């Protein structure tokens, strides 16, 4: 019992240096559709609001659903909603997912609920990444 309590205390201290945010905190963004000739298709480009801009470069944590993008390479996004209603499948907006650049490769199952921690980065123009990215990311609590 003491080991469990000590483990919980250590995890609590480790998480304390990261700001906890909710998906509502990430809604301060507007999107504009632009046609990219080289790709021959339209993309949504963000204009980030001040609330989201203040998070850029900070260590944060957020709770969401794991969605595999490429499970072979262990590429995942965290979603505000389960797979059936996430950005890719269910018509939610791009502000409801965060690309996870994991510090250590790990395998997750679809729709597992995790709290993750990492350095938050905004991406407005790299089409190979999501608009929200967590670099050096670690999955810290499975719910």
Q: Is residue 138 pLDDT above 60, yes or no?
A: yes
- N- to C-terminal Cα separation, the chain: 20
Average pLDDT over residues 15-24: 84
Determine if residue 135 is left, alpha or beta; phi over 0 gives left, psi from -120 to 50 gives alpha, anything else beta: beta
Helix (H) or strand (E) holding 14: helix 2-16
Q: Which of 18-32, 79-93, 101-115, 125-139 has the lowest mean pLDDT?
A: 79-93
Radius of gyration in angstroms for the set of CA atoms belonging to the chain, rounded to a whole number = 16
pLDDT at 105 over 90: no
Predicted local distance difference test score (pLDDT) of residue 87: 65
List, for residues 54-100, the tens digit of each pLDDT value: 999 999 999 999 999 887 777 899 999 998 776 666 667 899 999 99
Q: Answer yes or no: is pLDDT of 5 > 50.
A: no
pTM of this structure: 0.84
Domain residues of the chain, as ranges?
18-142
- Using one digit for the tens of pLDDT, what is the confidence trace for 125-135? 999 999 999 99
More confident position, 71 or 18: 18
Q: Name which of 17, 107, 122 is nearest 135 in CA terms.
A: 122
Q: How confident is the model at residue 124 (pLDDT cuts 50, 70, 90)?
A: very high
State the pairing for strand pair 75-79/97-102: antiparallel
Higher pLDDT, 17 or 101: 101
Q: Can you give the pLDDT at residue 126?
A: 95
pLDDT band, residue 53 (cuts 50/70/90): very high
CATH fold group of domain 18-142: OB fold (Dihydrolipoamide Acetyltransferase, E2P) (2.40.50)
């Amino acid at each position: 019992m003491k080991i469990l309590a000590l483990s919980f205390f250590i995890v609590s201290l480790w998480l304390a240096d990261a700001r906890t945010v909710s998906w509502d905190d990430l809604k301060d963004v507007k999107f504009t559709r632009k046609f990219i000739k080289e790709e021959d298709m339209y993309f949504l480009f963000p204009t980030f609001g001040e609330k989201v801009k203040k998070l850029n470069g900070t260590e944060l944590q957020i709770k969401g659903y794991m969605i595999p993008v490429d499970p072979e390479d262990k590429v995942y996004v965290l979603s505000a909603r389960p797979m059936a209603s996430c950005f890719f499948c269910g018509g939610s907006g791009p502000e409801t997912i965060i690309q996870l650049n994991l510090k250590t490769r790990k395998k997750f199952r679809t729709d597992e609920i995790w709290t993750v921690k990492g350095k938050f980065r905004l991406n407005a123009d790299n089409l190979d990444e999501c608009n929200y990215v967590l670099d050096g990311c670690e999955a810290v609590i499975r719910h």
